[in-house]
Structure formats: structure tokens, C-alpha cells
Amino acid sequence: MLIAELAKESSVARLWRADWGKRPKPGKNVAACICELDTLILFGAREPEIEAWLREKSDLQATFPQELWPDYSR
């Protein structure tokens, strides 16, 4: 399941990933999310907006290999 956190202008600001029965965590593997997009349940935004955000972040991650989302669990 992917949960879109929206910015003030209703655009996708961040994506959280959650497996059933577990707390949502910031998504880390953009490529996997893109590949699994057809099988994931989406909340907070429509699929085209989520896919566009993922593709933008995928390009950014390829250019600057780093974690895209801060780890809030620490």
C-alpha cells in the first residue's frame, strides 16, 4: 500500500509504504514502487500523480544516489 502525503497545493510531497498490519514507513526503493504500482493499493492521490512523483524521484535518485526520504524511525 502506498500513502501519498500531500503538500498545501495538493501535490504529492512524500510517499509512505505500508504492508498490512504494519506501520507506514517512508518508501526507499523507488524503482520497486514503480514496478509494483499496478498491484499496490493507493491512498491520498490518484495513480498518475503518484507515478509522476515516483518517476521524478527515480531520476533524482539515479543522479544523486542517496536515500530520498528521511528515516523517521530513529
Q: Please report the pLDDT score of residue 37 as a whole number.
A: 87
Count of helix runs (H) and strand runs (E) in the chain: 2, 4
The 8 Å CB, 24+ separation contacts for 15-19 are 15/50, 15/53, 15/54, 15/69
Rounded-to-integer distance, Cα 29 and Cα 37, Å: 12
Could you tell me which of 6, 11, 9 has the C-alpha nearest to residue 52? 11
Residues 41-60: tens digit of each pLDDT: 999 999 999 999 888 887 76
Residue 36: per-residue pLDDT: 85
